[in-house]
Homo-oligomer: A and B are copies of this chain.
Amino acid sequence: MTLATDTRADQVADKLEERELDQLLVNDLINVRWLTGFTGTNGLALVGRDLKLFVTDFRYVEQARAQVPDSFEHARGKQELSEEAIKRMSGRVGYDDVHMTVRQFNKLREAVPEGVELVPAGGVVEELRAVKDAREVEAIRAAAALADEVFAEIAERGLVGRTEHEVAVDAEIGFRRRGAAGPSFSPIVASGPHGALPHAVPRQVPIEADTLVVVDMGCVLDGYSSDCTRTYATGEGLSDEMRSVYDLVLRAQLAALDAVRAGVGGRSVDSVARDLIGSEGRADQFGHGLGHGVGLDIHEDPRLSQSVSDKPLAAGNVVTVEPGVYVPGAFGVRIEDLVVVTDDRPEILTSFTKELTVVG
């Protein structure tokens, strides 16, 4: 299946003028996949106003023929940065300084034809990738639905007495059995005080009763990622603080969801959740951004965070909304949905309940 469309190279070509470039070299494999549909491990594209060139090596010629639109000229090159592309370069050529290594760049610089000016241009394709088309949303929706099934399976099997590691492995197996390529990141299963670490690594220790367990996971299906977090109770005997923090995080999450729509800035949405959590004196216990884009990569643009500019969200952005409160030495709560930004209320791709759920 290719999700790429002929129009993507045109979108890139349109960006060239804005950046005062004649051509753009695209060689990061995720960007190449988005632009051309190609899923192999070696391929690059060179796009100009009147040029759409795709180059891969002998191993992938057939695959490229099947995946890359015919609007691209197909060429066969070496495994390293290809001469086939280099000899077609002219004018101001943008290259991906965010991903290209110094050694690759030095080789490229020595090889380009006279008159070519190499211009750092990382992020051009990423900016376009941030707005998903209908087929991409459908792919992410399918990955999220698959993850929902695995969340349901985990709740069914129970948590108390199993180790965090066992639960994480079961989740990965659940993803693979259902056809996912794998998890979109190493699943987080963090119980009790360990839940206060936002990026906790699952431990070989049994999960106790009457505490909270943060479960954060997603899968990759047809190249697209999903991402979801739920925090479960492992008994009715939670402390009052646990219950009130859960309630606070849920209110913050719902308020942020209400704020997410095209035209609102990513920093503003973060502020909605952050201010609410801050109003109960827990601002310093919410030590990460509210959310991030998800697509071919698990972390991509746009960001919902205080550390980015307040650039307006656009319809077709797919972002997580995941406030958390972490009480050091005690417990943590994080609640995360994956949503599609629209001109109105966002479409929520995660269907698993957010009410505090007891899983024994």
Contact = CB atoms under 8 A, between A and B. Distances in A.
Given A169-B176, A176-B169, A100 B101 contact: yes
A103 B169 CA distance: 37
Nearest to A168: B176
Given A173-B173, A173-B176, A177-B169, A101 B106 contact: no
A237 B244 CA distance: 69
A325 B345 CA distance: 58
Interface string A84-113: 000000000001011111110110000000
A43 to B, nearest CB: 14
A135 interface: no
Interface string A56-93: 00010000000000000000000000000000000000
A98 B97 contact: no
A97 B105 CA distance: 10
Please tell me the size bucket of the interface on A: 20 to 34
A99 B97 contact: no
A120 interface: yes
A101 B98 contact: yes
Contacts of A176: 169, 172-173
A193 interface: no
A122 B103 contact: yes
Nearest to A62: B197
Interface string A185-219: 00000000000000100000000000000000000
A101 B101 contact: yes
Contact of A105 (B59, B99, B102, B173): B102
A24 B23 CA distance: 36
Contact of A101 (B41, B97, B177, B182): B97
- Of listed A106, A169, A199, residue having the most chain B CB within 10 A: A169
A102 B41 CA distance: 21
A174 to B, nearest CB: 10
Contact of A100 (B95, B102, B199): B102
Contacts of A41: 199
20 contacts: A41-B199, A59-B199, A95-B102, A97-B101, A97-B106, A98-B101, A98-B103, A100-B102, A101-B102, A102-B102, A102-B105, A102-B120, A103-B120, A169-B176, A169-B177, A172-B176, A172-B182, A173-B173, A173-B177, A182-B182
Nearest to A63: B201
Q: Please list the 10 inter-chain residue pairs (A to B) with the smallest Cβ-Cβ separation, ordered nearest first.
A: A97-B102, A97-B103, A169-B176, A102-B105, A173-B173, A98-B103, A100-B102, A101-B101, A172-B176, A102-B102
A173 B170 CA distance: 9
Nearest to A204: B179
A97 to B, nearest CB: 4
Interface string A161-183: 00000000100110011000010
- Of listed A95, A100, A122, A173, residue having the most chain B CB within 10 A: A173
A106 B97 CA distance: 9
